[in-house]
Structure formats: structure tokens, C-alpha cells
Amino acid sequence: MSDGDVLAVADHRRGDLRDVSFQLLTAGRELADDLGGDLHVAVISGDVDSFADQLAREGVDTIHTVSEGEEFNHDVYVQAVEALFDELAPTALLAPNSVNGLDYVPAVATRLDVPLTTDAVDLTYDESLEVTREMYGSKVETTVEVTATPFAVSIRGGEWPAAEPGGDAEIESFPFDVDESEIGSRVTGFEEVGGGDVDIGDAEFLVSIGRGIEEEENLDLIRDLVDATDATLSSSRPIVDNGWLPKNRQVGQSGKQVTPDVYLAIGISGAVQHVAGMKGSDTIVAINTDPNAPIFDIADYGVVGDLFDVVPALIDEFGG
Amino acid sequence: MKILVTVKEVAEAADDFEIEGDDIAERYLEYDLNEWDDYAVEAAVQLQEAGEDVETVSVTIGPERSEETIRMALAKGIDRAVRVWDDDIAGADLDVAARARLLAAVAEEEEPDLILTGVQANDTGFGATGVALAEELGYEWAAVVNHLDMEAGDPAAAVRRELEGGVEELTEVDLPAVLTIQTGINEPRYASLRGIRRAQSKEIAPKALSDLGVDESVIDSPIRRTAMYEPETESDATYFEGDPEDQASELADLLREKGVAQ
Ligand SMILES: Cc1cc2nc3c(=O)[nH]c(=O)nc-3n(C[C@H](O)[C@H](O)[C@H](O)COP(=O)(O)OP(=O)(O)OC[C@H]3O[C@@H](n4cnc5c(N)ncnc54)[C@H](O)[C@@H]3O)c2cc1C
């Protein structure tokens, strides 16, 4: 059986390791310490030698490079991780809960027949694995116990600090031949979306609107506030999904990352994918009817109230 | 061509709620069709309308109450539905693997060319069932799809996967395949009155474990939720109190003080 080792699989895209990969090293080291094992890191596809040099940080024991293909392909990842898993027999498989993580981790866990817990914000192991994760749109946290080994866990970005440079990781090339007959998907290109006339990333003051606005017509109210305060208009995802605002106004994981002086979130609950795009703002203000809305956890100033009362009053303040 | 759409009835918590045991007390929960599945249903119905001889079937794992949610999918144009449930399932804590196996058992009976699921369910937020289902079935897949280009009979689907930071990946996926559908891929329709009426006579076939020929052990899981709590707020937010005018006035002062509005 497995001996407490952790296998952590790094994430990269178009030539760059993603930030979460360095956080993964910290999560992996902590878990390996709990388990009394080593931290193995795998990096698959792309310029693996350069990636391995960057991943050789504090706490990493061995880095396995799998030189196969350029960009992420889930079929290659599934095969490579399966081969690494067979070879190393780790107790834990760890990966980022990124969009590419969503695309291969459940398949690997299924193929290896190991239990999977996703989007962990904390992990401890003491006779069994305890995973902390959120539910109900971040309104509650839960503890999930996993009583079998080996197991797979994906971790949320931004929850662990990046590992420090240094350490004395060994870098090994992992011999691996892909089975081409099992490749059933092909990446044909990438496209940047959400360009256009405004760049909400440049704004000093963002008035950002969420699903609390209810109807497209009601956006006029927010536009009046934007005019009265000379702000820039942005939004959460549902407003863009509904086609009420163009994609270049969307703040969040799949939209823009913004860092204005003031971010005024109106009728936005504060889902993790939204917060990922605005938590670096200098001052965050939230207007929401729900006192338990997660947005208040990261807000500096809060107004618990109905936007249809507060926003008109605010427009009056600025002589709108 | 046959399309299978997985749908889930999800619970939403009221603004104020209490936790009892390891879940929010039932009286604070409201049930609805999962937001992501609404887009998956729409994608299936659009493919059906664009093609000839396309059958659409929805499958859910859920108690009798969830038939209300399934009817919504039927009212929007899905042809028929399968609902998997029995006492053993009711008593189990289904993990990703168990859900994938149950759905796979239905898919093996239906043999669809395409399976559409939501990216995630917004109550539990695991975001894993669709891709696990694909692997369970030996189908291809693509996760977080926000654009789908295919016609009935095509050997592959051209999709876009929505990555982080406004980048989309263009991918070709061989069929049969599972696609996990992202919000915004289309505009989900409202059910018409006629659709709602027609849905009343559409079939919702109940399936127990024994009907699917799967063993009870399939739903055993080593993953168990042991606690739920309200997160300790790290917030040190200053709240503006009073009536809306007072709140607005304090907020306006703040905005002036920060120099972002005059
Ligand atoms: C892969 C992936 C990527 C994603 N990327 C993004 C992204 O880039 N950006 C993004 O925003 N989301 C993203 N999401 C979606 C995210 O999970 C949430 O669904 C979304 O952020 C919710 O938007 P919201 O807060 O506007 O709506 P809701 O969560 O519905 O919140 C509406 C809020 O309005 C409040 N409200 C209602 N009425 C009023 C009123 N009259 N006055 C005041 N307040 C009121 C409610 O209390 C509630 O808190 C992504 C999801 C996935 C799975």
C-alpha cells in the first residue's frame, strides 16, 4: 500500500505556470507532513525543464517531468497521471481546481478508482483526511471526511501561500509513451475574448452590478448612478450571460481582474469566482439585502439594504 | 441522434437560515433546477430543433419532489425523463463516483451520442460528475463548454472551453461525448403554456438500483460530510446603518473622502 507520499500535478497554460501551482506545493508539503511522506510534483507537457526549475522550491522532494505535447490535453494528462500514480503509489493525488483541473481530475480519479473531493480550502490528515470546503454559494463551510486511501483532492486557488524559493528538489524525467489511440480530443487554438472599447481594469471607481438588479430595464438606475458619480460600470457574470452587458464588463475568474480604488458591489453575492476578480481592490463596498451574503466577508464597508432604495438615495447625494 | 441531459434539483438557502446537524434546516431550503443544467437543457433542445430525428432524454437522481424540476425540462422541450431513486439511495451520501455510476447505468441503457451536464451544481459545487461520467462510460468529454458547434450526425463536436481570464480554448471532441455546459452558452427559454401542458403527459420513468442492474455497493462512499457551519467571518467591515437616506449619505461621504466621486 501507499506510504504517505503526495503526488501534486502542476498547472500551466500557454508557456506559464499558473500561480496556483506554487500554492499547490505548500498544500502538498503540509499534507505530506501530516502523512509522513514525500512530496512528488509532476509537470506534464510544454517546456517541462523550465517549469521544473521554477517548481523546485522549499518542501518539494522530487519533480517528475513528462515531456509530451505542448498544451494541456486531458487525454494526455489522464494517461500520464495514471502512469505516475502506478509508479509512485502515492497516498494522495493533489491538483488545482482550475478549469483544466475540472477537465481531467474527475476522469483520473474515476480511472484510478480513488475517492475525489474538489475545491478544498483546507486539508488535514490525522488517521483520516479532513477536507474543508464551501457549499450553498459560499454561505456555509463544511467538513468532509475521507476514510479511504489513496484519495484525490483538488484545491482552490488563493487559499495557501506560494511555496518559498529554495530547497533541494531532484528533477527526474519520467519515461512515458502516450497511447495515441486513446486521444479523442484536439485543441485547435486559443482566443482572447472580452476586448473592446472600455477596459474596466483601468478604472479608479467601479460600480458593479449583480443579479440583484433582477430586470434589464432596472440597469438604467445603475447607469444613472454611474453618470452621477463619473464611475465605470462593471458586473458579475449573470448580467453578461443574460446579454445585458458585453463580456468586457465582467469581473471575475473568467472575466477581468480589477484593482480599482473603490469597488462598489451592488446586488452581488460574492461567489468565489467573482471574488477572484476583485479582491485586490483598495476599498470594497457592498450593498446587499442579505446580511449573510459572502461579499460582506471581504467588504471594507457594508450597506445591508435594498438597492432599489439605497441607489436612488445615493444618486440624489450626487445631484443626479 | 440521441442526447441525454443530466439535471439536478438543487437546494438554495434563504437569506437567514439555521444549520441543524450537518445541513441547513429543511425549512430554509428552496428547490429549483440547477442554473447550469438549465443551459444544458436549452442546448439539447436547440440541437433537437435544428436537426431531424433527434431524441432528447433527461435523467436525474432525486426523490419524488424533484419531478417538479424534471417537468420544467420537459416543458421546455425534452422528450422524456428518467428519475433514479430508491430507499438505498435516499439513505446514502452520494459522492461523485456513486453519481457517475448511477448516471452511467442509465446512459448504458439509453446509448446516447451526446450527454450534456452542467459544469457544477450550485448547492454542493463539486463540478466533477460530468467528466467522471464520461470516464465511467469510456466517452470523450470537454469541461466548461461555452460554445457548441455541431449538427446531428457529425462525428465530432467543435466546442469552446472557457478558461480563466477571458481566454477560450477551441477543441474538437470525438463523439460519443459528455460536455459540461457553462452558463451563458445560450439563452434558456421560458416554458410556454403549451409546453407546460404537454409536459404533463410526458413520461418520467422511475428507476431503482435493481431496475438498473447495479449493486448496492455502487453507492457506498468513503466520503462523508461530518459538519456544516457558518464560516467565521474574517470581515471587519464597517456597516452604514439607518434608513436608506442615512446609509446613502454616509456612503457618499466615503466616496468623496476616497476621492473617486464629487
Ligand atoms: C467556471 C466558472 C467560472 C465563473 N466565472 C465567473 C466570473 O468570472 N464572474 C462572476 O461574477 N461569476 C462567475 N461564475 C459564477 C459564480 O459562481 C456566480 O454564479 C455568480 O458570480 C453570481 O452572480 P451574482 O452575485 O450577481 O448573483 P447571485 O449569486 O444570485 O447574487 C445576487 C445577490 O443579490 C442580492 N440581492 C437581491 N435583491 C437585492 C436587492 N433588491 N438589493 C440588494 N441586493 C439584492 C442577493 O441577496 C444576492 O446576494 C463562474 C462560475 C463557474 C462555475
A190 domain-assigned: no
- A307 CA: nearest ligand 1 atom: 42
pTM of the model: 0.96
B255 domain-assigned: no
A70 domain-assigned: yes
Q: Are residues A134 and A263 in the same domain?
A: no
CA pair distance B157, B185, nearest whole angstrom: 15
B191 domain-assigned: yes
Q: Are residues A27 and A154 in the same domain?
A: yes
Question: How many domains are contained in chain A?
Answer: 2
Cell of A144: 468532509
Q: Is A146's CB within 8 Å of B161's CB? A: no
A189 domain-assigned: no
Q: What is the pLDDT of residue A198?
A: 81
A244: Cβ below 6 Å to ligand 1?
Answer: no
A135 domain-assigned: yes
Q: CATH number, domain at B153?
A: 3.40.50.620
Q: Hey, of B135, B220, B224, which one would you mutate to test binding to chain A, going by the most A CBs within 10 A of its CB?
A: B135
Q: Are residues A258 and A295 in the same domain?
A: yes
Q: What is the pLDDT of residue A2?
A: 53
**Nearest Cα residue to atom 39 of ligand 1:** A212
Question: How many domains are contained in chain B?
Answer: 1
- A293 CA: nearest ligand 1 atom: 49
Q: Are residues A218 and A275 in the same domain?
A: yes
CA pair distance A20, A10, nearest whole angstrom: 8
- B162 CA: nearest ligand 1 atom: 1
Write out residues 110-169 of A within 8 Å (CB-CB) of B.
Answer: 110-111, 113, 115-119, 130, 133-148, 151
Q: Hey, of B42, B164, B179, which one would you mutate to test binding to chain A, going by the most A CBs within 10 A of its CB?
A: B164
**Nearest Cα residue to atom 37 of ligand 1:** A212
A43 domain-assigned: yes
**Residue B108 CB partners (closer than 8 Å, separation 6+):** B137
Q: CATH number, domain at A312?
A: 3.40.50.1220
CA of A290: which chain B residue's CA is closest?
Answer: B15
Q: What is the pLDDT of residue B120?
A: 98
Alpha-carbon gap: B170 to the closest alpha carbon of chain A (Å):
5
The angle formed by the CA atoms of residues A290, B126 and A147, to the nearest 5 degrees, is 115
Q: Is A292's CB within 8 Å of B224's CB? A: no
CA of A243 to the centre of ligand 1 (A): 15
B95 domain-assigned: yes
| Half-sphere CA count of A170, side-chain side, radius 13 A | 8
CA of A220 to the centre of ligand 1 (A): 19
Q: Are residues A174 and A291 in the same domain?
A: no
Q: How confident is the model over B118-141, as pLDDT tens digits?
A: 999 999 999 999 999 999 999 999
Query: Which of the pair, A97 or B165, is modelled with greater confidence?
Result: A97
Q: Are residues A103 and A209 in the same domain?
A: no
- Residue ending a domain, choose from A182, A217, A241: A182
H-type alpha helices, A40-98: 48-55, 74-88
Q: Is A117's CB within 8 Å of B223's CB? A: yes
A284 domain-assigned: yes
Q: What is the pLDDT of residue A1?
A: 43
Whether residue A168 contacts residue A34, with contact meaning beta carbons closer than 8 Å, is answered with no
Alpha-carbon gap: A175 to the closest alpha carbon of chain B (Å):
24
Tell me whether A261 touches chain B (CB under 8 Å). yes
- Can you give the residue range of the structural domain that contains B207? 2-219
CA pair distance A241, A236, nearest whole angstrom: 9
Tell me whether A238 touches chain B (CB under 8 Å). yes
A187 domain-assigned: no
Q: How confident is the model over B183-242, as pLDDT tens digits?
A: 999 999 999 999 999 999 999 999 999 999 999 999 999 999 999 999 887 778 999 999
Strands B223-229 and B19-20: unpaired
Q: Is A107's CB within 8 Å of B17's CB? A: no
B229 domain-assigned: no
Cα–Cα distance list, B123 to A87, A134, B260 (Å): 37, 9, 37
- A214 CA: nearest ligand 1 atom: 38
Alpha-carbon gap: A58 to the closest alpha carbon of chain B (Å):
27
A194 domain-assigned: no
Q: Is the ipTM of this complex over 0.85?
A: yes
Q: CATH number, domain at A124?
A: 3.40.50.620
Q: Are residues A226 and A261 in the same domain?
A: yes
Give the mean pLDDT per block of 10 residues along chain A (320 residues): 86 96 98 98 98 98 97 97 98 98 98 98 97 95 97 97 96 96 95 85 96 98 97 98 96 96 98 96 97 95 98 93
CA pair distance B35, A25, nearest whole angstrom: 34
Place of cell 436608506: B244
Q: What is the pLDDT of residue B235?
A: 75
Q: Are residues A13 and A138 in the same domain?
A: yes
CA pair distance A35, A123, nearest whole angstrom: 11
CA torsion, ordered A276, B95, A73, A190, to nearest 10 deg: -40
B230 domain-assigned: no
- Can you give the residue range of the structural domain that contains A45? 6-182
Q: Are residues A152 and A240 in the same domain?
A: no
Q: Is B165's CB within 8 Å of A306's CB? A: no
Taken in order B75, B76, B79, B83, is the CA torsion positive or negative?
negative
Bridge partner residues of B159 (DSSP): B148, B171
Q: Is A110's CB within 8 Å of B15's CB? A: no
CA pair distance B6, A303, nearest whole angstrom: 39
CA of A203 to the centre of ligand 1 (A): 21
